[in-house]
Amino acid sequence: MFRALAAVLGALHSRLTLARYDDFTIAEYLRSQGAQIGDDCRIMIRSLGAEPWLVRIGNHCTIAPGVALTTHDGGTWIFTAEFPTLQQFGRIDILDNCFIGMCSIILPGVRIGPNSVVGAGAVVTKDVPPGTVVVGCPAVPILTIDEYRAKLTRAWAAQRPPGYLEDLKDGVHYSAAHIQRRKSEAQRLLREHLERTLK
């Protein structure tokens, strides 16, 4: 009875603690658990896995919802009868200016190079070179970051609503939180425009 009550109270405390943070401030909490996280990050998950001290995230990175960062090999479990202490760990390094897509899985020992994108649902089993877009299971490169930028800017030129976020100028640095706040404020304009143009 007391164990169950303690578990419930512990879970409630954890939820209340995490509720104090948003996607732009959660890095403070994750750092207190031992993770190394740079500046200007948007982290949309609330846990970096069982060993957060083995995770390093650079500056200006996004970690999308549902991402799993796995810093150990759980498969060692099947050998515990023979080797009760057997474990295997690996650091995860996500370097500067990366986007880790929704529900992707990053496995132990992986280094994601700067200026890279991991597509939604990808399973990253080996290092991602700098300036690369990877997708799939296992993740494989499909574009350079320059090819991806060109593809996105062509599409945005056709889709951008007139007057949308005109105060944000290309080539000027804004914090990730400021950009997201401005996008939220202009959401209605974007929605109305896309509903008209994307039929």
Q: What's the whole-number mean pLDDT along residues 70-76?
A: 96
3-state secondary structure of 192: helix
Claim to verify: residue 52 and residue 97 sit in the same structural domain: yes
Claim to verify: residue 180 and residue 126 sit in the same structural domain: no
As for how many domains the chain has, the answer is: 2
In a domain, 1, yes or no: no
Supply angle C-alpha 61, 63, 68, rounded to 5: 140
SS (H, E, C) 136-172: CCCCEEEEEHHHHHHHHHHHHHHHCCCCCCCCCCCCC
103: phi > 0 → left, psi -120 to 50 → alpha, else beta; which? left
Claim to verify: residue 125 and residue 177 sit in the same structural domain: no
Does residue 2 carry a pLDDT above 90?
Answer: no
Domain of 185? 160-199
* Per-residue model confidence as pLDDT tens digits over 83-136: 999 999 999 999 999 999 999 999 999 999 999 999 999 999 999 999 999 999
Cα separation values, 124 from 92, 121, 127, Å: 11, 9, 8
How many Å apart are CA 171 and CA 23, to the nearest integer?
24
In a domain, 13, yes or no: no
- pLDDT at position 15 is 77
The CATH number for 48's domain is: 2.160.10.10
Claim to verify: residue 57 and residue 119 sit in the same structural domain: yes
How many Å apart are CA 181 and CA 39, to the nearest integer?
17
Whether cis (ω within 30° of 0) applies to the bond prior to 141 is no
Count Cβ atoms below 10 Å from residue 123 Cβ, excluding itself: 16
Please name the amino acid found at residue 126.
K
Claim to verify: residue 139 and residue 47 sit in the same structural domain: yes
Contact at 8 Å (CB) between 108 and 126? no
pLDDT band for 53, please (50, 70, 90 cuts).
very high
Cα separation values, 104 from 51, 75, 120, 143, Å: 18, 19, 5, 18
- pLDDT at position 6 is 77
Claim to verify: residue 41 and residue 132 sit in the same structural domain: yes
Claim to verify: residue 129 and residue 182 sit in the same structural domain: no
